[in-house]
Structure 1
Amino acid sequence: MRNPINAKVRDIKPSGIRKFFDIANEIPGVISLGVGEPDFDTPWIIRDEGMYTLQKGRTFYTANAGLIELREEICRYLDRRYGLKYSPQNETLVTVGGSEAIDLALRAMLDPGDEVIYAEPCYVSYLPCIVLADGVPVAVELKEEDQFRLKKEDLLAAITPKSKVVILSYPNNPTGAIMSKEDLEEIAAVIIENDLFVITDEIYSELSYNGEHVSIASLPGMKERTVYINGFSKGYAMTGWRLGYAAAPPIIMEQMIKIHQFAIMAAPTTSQYAGIVALKSCDDNVAEMRESYNQRRRFLMKIMKDLELPCFEPFGAFYIFPNISEFGLTSEEFATRLVLEEKVAVVPGTAFGDSGEGFIRISYAYSIEELKEAFEHIKNFIERLRVEKKNNG
């Protein structure tokens, strides 16, 4: 019998996050600080709309690109929040989460052998999606001393004649890093000078704690080179609704919709109606969640200082990315011992690429009480490791 498995798919490694939490889930009583999911319920007004939609029998396919009412609301939202102007008719697509939009953009833009530059550590889907689209992944290591921002000189060093696309993701998962307008202007100049395109994943744009979020697509000369990706999972606590969107120039969007049409047909109808209400009516809910996350962020930064554990201050998303290299353990060894000895689960930095070695990702999408309890255990673990290191000379 012939091997039925595609070699490209076979060689892709499973998610490092899933692999680790499969281990953690087998241990009773584990406190998890690893899931990248809001701990808030979806706001009631959104849930009410979902239920009302079902009661009214609105359960049929929508247009492939999504409900025109939702696409119009997405365009109004992008304009009022980030100064981005897109057409709902031919520049906007509703997807099954932001992850589908990433996959569609890469498949629509890449020919075999095209190089895609992405900054690492990063969201776990970028590398496999590049490979599945027949692209060549080129990782640029982000550095703690640069606050995990992509620097102009590092991007320039990665560019070759085969470079075509750069993936940006700010606010960043797993580091919590952000890029200022000035940072993005330097990157945009390199993009334009080298005739490249950008996929910008801004799923955490509503969770920025140091001034207003700026999209690279809003800079002069960048809209026509950019696929903008966002969604409802993080800012609106709608992870299970599986609703995202993309905005892009018509020449790219036409091909993305074509792939979406054959692979997916349309995003869930109930979720789309709920998404309209989210964008229209939930600014205050988003602001409340953002302020709560910010309180937790500040709380954890104080704990990091008290523990004398190096951790740059993140100003986006809901993660901290402390440096654990002082203990002489790999990220996976540290996380494994922590869950076995203290029953606290965090994510090894290497789940987000080789550049994450020496770090762990801790989510603060948990209550202050849960964080306090977890960090009592983490404190015990760190103190024990420091004693071990001292005794071992």
Structure 2
Amino acid sequence: MAYYLGIDLGTSVIKGLAIDDAGRILASFSKETPLISRQPDWTEQSPEFWWSSTLEIINLLATKIDFTQVKGLGLSGQMHGLVAYGNDFQVLRRAIIWMDQRSSKEVNQILKTLKNKLYQTTGNPVFTGFLLPSLLWLKKHEPELYKKIARISSPKDYLAYKLTGNLSSEPTDALATAAFDYHKNNWSQKILRSFKLKTAIFPEIKPTLTPYGTITDKVAKITKLPQGIPVYGASDQAMSALGTGLVQPGQASVALSTGGQFLVVAKKGVIDPKRRLHTLNHALPDTGLYMAATLSAGFSLRWFKDLVCNQPETDFKHFTAGVDKIPIGSDGLFFLPFLNGERTPYFNPNLRGAFFGLTSRHKRLHLVRAIMEGVAFSLRECLNVFNELKLPINKVILSGGG
């Protein structure tokens, strides 16, 4: 019997599981990942915490299956973020992740400089929290640290480096940086030159279905994994599409976690003239994948739970118990889930969340249901964009922990 491990570097939780060669889940573990906000609009995480948590999860999985039969390890992870390394490949600072909003001026600089060429080149709008504006922010506000940068990567590529000793990336993650040429399938030299960025700091791009390498002897010793097992990886959205069976045009999924993502498989080359969609690279070659996104799906509920719950250990199942008894429409209470700005269809980091219609008769569960409904309405706005572009949707699969 062959076994395989999977690690997902999420924004809220790092998850790990073991499956057999029939795809049956044999064991799974997870660990919450704290968000660090040292200043307003800043959202960072510790790569070292990612790594220690990954090792902890792998060692827990070792208690459930025979590790001598593990044949491979797959990675998925949050997109857009920035990890910076020095000459010794040590991390120079905390990672700036996709939720970060400090780089609004850099986003405006990118839009002013590149204008329509950005979307034409990358197939994507740019937003705060993307790797390119975050890197420009570092260049301006932390110039001494920027000078020390020898290499950069997306979050999940950091884990691949720690596992294999090889730092590279692949098209599903690279396309989410605002510095990648969708048509040439490589870093855009035009974009890098426009902002005088050092080309050498950007990692080599390998095909998505090519392994990063094999685990190092050090990792094998720490985890008891067999030496020589390969490590593969792709972005969380590409892996979500593959894992939920989105392989044919017309298939779609809604993935709910910290954010909410609406994915649709269609032919390659679709461009939204209003720039409301993300164009993604599917893990499968020559397959188009398009994403509409709402930023604060599960995060909205987590924010409210942390705000009002006096017992942090209370899980979401107990926190939301009884919400089905609240009438549809939450007795006239509405919630806008724009706690961190919004992507589809507005792409406006300055939008803010709100409760409307709040009265003295509303109880805690009314607010909980209003949050859930507000997220659902945001996802409906995503669907409206796909319908407008006449992208066929024959089937929708729900996934995620939201």
Q: TM-score under structure 1 normalisation?
A: 0.31
Q: Which has the higher contact order (CA 8 A, sep 6+)?
A: 1
Structure with greater proportional helix content: 1
TM-score by length of 2: 0.30
